[in-house]
Amino acid sequence: MTITATDGDSRGARASRAEVIHRDIVRAILEQRLGPGTKLGEDEVGAIYGVSRTIVRAALQSLAHEGIVVIEKNRGAFVAHPTVKDAAEVFSARRLIEPVITELAAANCDAAGAKLLAEHFAREKQAEREGDDRAAIRLSGEFHLVIARIAGQGVYENFLRELVARSSLIILLYRRSRAQCCKVDHHAGLVEAITSGRAEDAVRQMTVHLDEIEQELELVETAMPAKPLSELLAG
């Protein structure tokens, strides 16, 4: 079969639209607007974005591959509803890879990396100061991905991106109170240690930080109330 330039452009456009849906769903999860167990109907998502079911299906399959969405036969796609066991495994995985990422970030943090981390932390503090909960929650999760970027470890960064999204679902489902999540004051010490190249101190702080996040969870099986998908995906 001959593949024309038009065919390639068409596939590229479909992939691009699927990536937008993928990005928006992950963003909604990181902002904790889109909760565990929310049904992601292909027709409804397609209507929201004005795209075909084929494009929606590609986005949902990509999210399912990352463990963020679950696709059930004859029922459709749902935002993953992590169990207590899932929560323990996610934080166990984070404790394995994030100290390594943090050590590498402290070793490799140059002026550009320090600027990137400081600017992200400033946005996080501003969101918290302005009471923008959605942005603050999303930025606090993305803070960990910035560290991975500075470390220069693309594979680790991809693993961590999935774990951060799944952690957001876990925090939304199991946190004891709305105020308890990945706190800005915890990040301040990490910024200082990483940008100063104090790898051992940065690793210690990251380990304590992850332990504290998990300790703030009340790991008892629960459920989230359902809301209209159009409301949840509205940025």
Span 81-92, average pLDDT: 93
Range 182-212 burial, b when 16+ CB lie within 10 A, else e: bbbebbebbbbbbbeeebebbbebbeebbee
Q: Are 28 and 65 part of one and the same domain? A: yes
Question: Considering the domain boundaries, does residue 220 fall inside one?
Answer: no
At residue 137, the pLDDT reads 83
Residues 126 and 204 in one domain: yes
Phi, psi at 225, each rounded to 5°: -70, 145
Does 152 share its domain with 202?
Answer: yes
Asked if residue 3 belongs to a domain, the reply is no
The residue to which tokens 């790898």 are assigned:
199
> Based on the domain organization, do 120 and 162 belong to the same domain?
yes
Residues constituting the chain = 235
CATH number at residue 145: 1.20.120.530
DSSP category for residue 39: B
pLDDT tens by residue, 98-111 = 999 999 999 999 99
pLDDT at 224 over 50: yes
Q: Do residue 45 and residue 123 come from a single domain?
A: no
- CATH code for position 36: 1.10.10.10
Domain check: are 114 and 71 in the same one? no
Mean pLDDT score of the chain, rounded to an integer? Answer: 86
Instruction: Tell whether 53 and 140 lie within a shared domain.
Output: no
CA atoms of 80 and 37, how far apart (whole Å): 6
Cβ atoms of 87 and 170 within 8 Å: the answer is yes
Cβ contacts of 218-222, under 8 Å, gap ≥ 24: 218/174, 218/175, 218/176, 219/84, 219/87, 219/88, 219/174, 220/84, 220/174, 221/83, 221/84, 222/173, 222/174
| Residue 109 and residue 62 in one domain | no
- Tokens 């404790």 correspond to 95
166 and 92 belong to one structural domain: yes
- CB neighbour list of residue 200: distance below 8 Å, 6 or more residues apart: none
d(C-alpha 159, C-alpha 22), whole Å: 16
| pLDDT over 70 (residue 12) | no
Whether residues 155 and 115 fall in one domain = yes
User: Do 196 and 91 belong together in one domain?
Assistant: yes
Task: Judge if 98 and 204 occupy the same domain.
Answer: yes
Please state, in angstroms and rounded to a whole number, the distance separating the CA atoms of residues 205 and 212.
10
pTM tops 0.75: yes
Burial classification of residue 19, based on how many CB atoms lie within 10 Å of its CB (0-12 exposed, 13-18 middle, 19 or more buried): middle
Per-residue pLDDT tens digits for 159-216 = 999 899 888 888 888 887 655 455 667 899 999 999 999 999 999 999 999 999 998 8
Residues spanned by the domain of 155: 84-215
Total tally of structural domains belonging to the chain: 2
Q: What is the mean pLDDT of residues 19-37?
A: 87
Residue 227 included in any domain? no
Segment 33-62, tens digit of pLDDT: 888 889 999 999 999 999 999 999 999 999
- Residue 230 vs residue 220, higher pLDDT: 220
- pLDDT for the residue numbered 230: 65
